[in-house]
Amino acid sequence: MLSPELIKKIKKIHIKSGRLVNTMMAGSYKSVFRGSGIEFEEVREYSFGDDVKNIDWKVSARLGRPFIKLYREERELIVMLLIDMSASCCFGTMENIKKETAAEIASILAFNAIRNNDKVGAIFFTSRVESYIPPQKGSSHVWRVIREIFSFKPHHKGTSITSAVRYFGTVCRKKAVSFLISDFLDSNYADQLKAASKKHELIAVFLSDPGEFSLPDSGIISVEDFETGDVLCLDAFDQNTRRQFERLKKNIYKNRVEKIKTSGIDCVEISTSDSVSAALVKYFRYREKKMR
């Protein structure tokens, strides 16, 4: 049973995402994510200026005048959201924790998809795949995905990008546009990303929080790893300790971004302090320029 506070938060994201899709992002999604191919539509009589390569010679011979084949783009897409539900995604020092930011990202992407008559599915994962929602259409389906993000109780704490992407490949045989939303606290997943990107359009959405990169100036503190439970005691009053901690965390983050990019896929970096809509609009515009 969801609490009234949680229901209010879900409704807020649902309404906000729908409004953004109808204003800021109108047309952007459709222009950068196309269908998986073309399919035959009809035959019509040849007109001056038509491409002669499209002439249907059998029909033309039978009717005694030239006819051409017409094709249309197969517009419908499958959009898969691979959402990290590991313990580290419950961390946050801003208004939203990472999981809530992930919910907003997923909501906006899902609304863009259904607005263009595409199907949306979701995979929730930790150190293993925990839940799968098959692709469907409709705004009620988006509501279900958002509700699941907030209400889902994972059985494990860790992160396995490899397991999630491999499972995605088994349940999605047809080419899909997939968004991998995670803080990427994992290793040895680059090869799996590379393999999946050969068949599917795979985009990494890298979550972070400003609190990950700094220590408070507050004496001896205990820093706990959400996923392993390991605890480290640090003297946060010491300026040198704080500087080393910040440098280490920023280098780890930078290395993860580089690892994703060397896998040959796009990486959208979004912090809990960022405007999710602005970050996604910026990415859509980048995609448009790249396609030109």
How much is the average pLDDT of 14-38? 63
Amino acid at position 3, single letter? S
Are 80 and 61 a contacting pair, CB within 8 Å? no
- Both tokens assigned to 52: 């002669």
Q: Range with the lowest mean pLDDT among 57-61, 94-98, 223-227?
A: 223-227
Q: How far apart, in whole angstroms, are the C-alpha atoms of residue 200 and residue 266? A: 12
Share the mean pLDDT of the chain.
87
Closest CA to 142 of 29, 17, 1, 268: 17
* 3-state percent breakdown (helix, strand, coil) of the chain, nearest 5: 45, 25, 30
Tell me the pLDDT tens digit for each residue of 75-114: 578 999 999 999 999 999 999 999 999 999 998 898 888 8
Report the predicted TM-score, pTM, of the whole model to 2 decimal places.
0.82
Task: State the DSSP code for 65.
Answer: S
Q: Are strands 67-74 and 37-45 parallel, antiparallel or unpaired?
A: antiparallel
Tell me the pLDDT tens digit for each residue of 138-166: 888 888 888 888 888 999 999 999 999 99
Q: How far apart, in whole angstroms, are the C-alpha atoms of residue 287 and residue 292? A: 9
| Domains by residue range for the chain, with CATH | 4-31+75-291 (3.40.50.410), 36-74 (no CATH)
The residue with tokens 């507050």 is 218
Are 20 and 104 a contacting pair, CB within 8 Å? no
Query: Measured between alpha carbons, how far is residue 156 from residues 112, 125, 129, 239 in Å?
Result: 31, 9, 10, 36
**Cβ-based neighbours of 44, under 8 Å, separated by 6 or more:** 67, 68, 70
- Both tokens assigned to 104: 């907003």
CA 143 to chain centre: 17
Q: How far apart, in whole angstroms, are the C-alpha atoms of residue 68 and residue 43? A: 6
Confidence of residue 115 (pLDDT cuts 50, 70, 90): confident
Q: Are strands 119-125 and 78-84 parallel, antiparallel or unpaired?
A: parallel
**Cβ atoms within 10 Å of 263's Cβ, excluding its own:** 19
Confidence of residue 233 (pLDDT cuts 50, 70, 90): very high
